[in-house]
Structures are given as C-alpha cells and as structure tokens.
Amino acid sequence: MKQIIKLLQDENVGTVKSQESLTNHTTWKIGGPADIFVEPNGIDGLKKTMNIINDTGINWRVIGRGSNLLVADGGIEGVVIKLTKGFEQLEVQGEEIKVGGGYPLIKLATLISRQGLSGLEFAGGIPGSVGGAVFMNAGAHGSDISEILKEAHVLFADGTMEWIKAEDMDFSYRTSRLQKEDAICIEAIFTLKKGNKEEIVKHMQKNKDYRRESQPWAHPCCGSVFRNPLPHHAGKLIEDAGLKGYRIGGAQISEVHANFIVNVDKAKAKDVLDLIHYAKETVKEKYGVDMETEVEMIGRMV
C-alpha cells in the first residue's frame, strides 16, 4: 500500500490519504476506513490514478457525495476515489449545460432554476452528486435524470473513459447500465428548456420544501432505502407494517418517513443491514411484497 501511495503522490494526482474513515464521506456517517483514499484534482489526475491502479492491479471504486451508499464497518479494500472539487465544473451554453460528476445536485438545481432553465426542478431536494444521480437515474415528482440527459462521460472498470449518449444508457426506474458495468459518470451534458424564471424557481422551491417537510433531515441518512415496488410505495408498506420508529442498535426506521433509516446514535453498517432485513421480512410476511434496496452496499463486512 505504501508503494502505491507513493506512486500516487509522485504523480500529483490530488489528495491522497491512508486509512481514511468513510464516516466522513457518507451522508449516513457510517463506514470503516479506505485503505487508500484519493480525491483527484481533475480528469487528468483521475487518468493518472487509473493508470497506477491498472498497473498495480489494486481494487478500486468511485464515490461521489456519499448518499445512497452504505459502507461496511470493515471499510473498503484498495483505492477509494472521491469526485469532489476537481469535478465541480459547470458550463452553460444556451439550453445545454455541461457539469462535472462531483457537482452537488441540489446546488445545480437551485443555480440553474435561477437562470431560467427548466428541467431540473425535480432535483431540488435530492442529495448527492451529478455522477451519482446519473448512475442511479435519480428522480422525484414524476421526473428523473433520463428525461434531461444528453450524454454522459463515463469511467469504466478497466479504466477507459467514453462519452455515452442517453439512449445507450439503458435507463429504467432508478437504474442505468452503469450499475451493471461497475462504471461511474464523471461528466454529464443535460438538455434543458428556457422558461419563466419566477415560475421555475417557485416550482423547484416547492419540491425542495416538500422533501424538507416530509423527509427526515435531523439525523444522518442516505435518502430512500428501498425502491418502490410499484404499484406499491415502500414507505407506506413499511409504515402500515407498524415499523415506523423501529430501532436496531443506533439505526432507526424514521418516524417521519418509513422509507428512510436514520443514524440516531453512532449506528454501524450492521445495524442498518439488520434493520433492512427485518423490514423486508416483515413486509413480505404481511403483504407478500418483495422489496429491493436502492442503496448501494459496499466494503468488507466484519
């Protein structure tokens, strides 16, 4: 590990740390350490990082702002790459915007609405980064990323990078081809529409307020835990099963919205996993409905 860290530092790829706790890099505030933690200073730094990873054969993965992510208590083996300031560029050209994968989605939706561009109003309250939103086909209020994406600049597991058109992303409900191919979006081009700035801002703010009022933000959480098993809604199934407020260790099913699990007291990943399993089993027993998580679970279980 020390040799790989030295190689990364010598190439000036960006910030490089050893045994960095991932509780500091997930919205759940849960997770063990990364063997090596890298914040590349841009695409060039990312390319150099990937060259070293491929030359050494070490395991790796990318994270964004850490929402929709559960990191195991044993941490993550190999290199964790976090897209942050080096991937927060934004270019606005008419009705198209080109934005880095590390750009905060809520910040983007707010800024773009104030410029009189419509299409991102649904994202006003969605935590996470642009790259993560493309990866998950994030959505709310009847819209999602697939409706506005033109192209995505994608990093594949073998270290290659490619621009992929939206029609080739295999989008469906909270799903894209990136999940199947262990790839990540490092840049995106969105096609929006010009409109009435006041109406766009009002619509975006309404969505943001709704999420703030109807979802729990007093404690660390990751966003929605389960995909909606349509035509059902996961939160209603869990609530009807009487599980609001149910707690295992430091993790609790939110009393505000039952499709959220909150970290109320230094929760471990195992607490969350046990709670997910209990909710799935209870809903299956009571209603015969199978629920799937939309949370990505990674790392070494202990």
Query: Hey, which residues are catalytic here?
Result: 174, 224, 294
196: DSSP letter? -
Residue 224: phi and psi, rounded to 5, are: -65, 140
Measured distance CA(145)–CA(156) in Å, rounded: 20
DSSP 258: T
Q: What angle do CA 278, 284, 289 make, to 5 degrees?
A: 130
CA distances, 253 to each of 14, 91, 169 (Å): 38, 40, 33
Q: Enumerate the β-bridge partners of residue 154.
A: 162, 185
Integer angstrom CA distances of residue 141 from 124, 148, 224:
10, 14, 14
The CA distance from 88 to 117, in Å, is 19
- Calculate ∠ Cα 147-148-152, nearest 5°: 110
Helix axes 105-114, 197-214, angle to 10 degrees: 150
Tokens 């098993």: give the residue. 229
Angle between helix 2-10 and helix 43-56 axes, rounded to 10 deg? 150
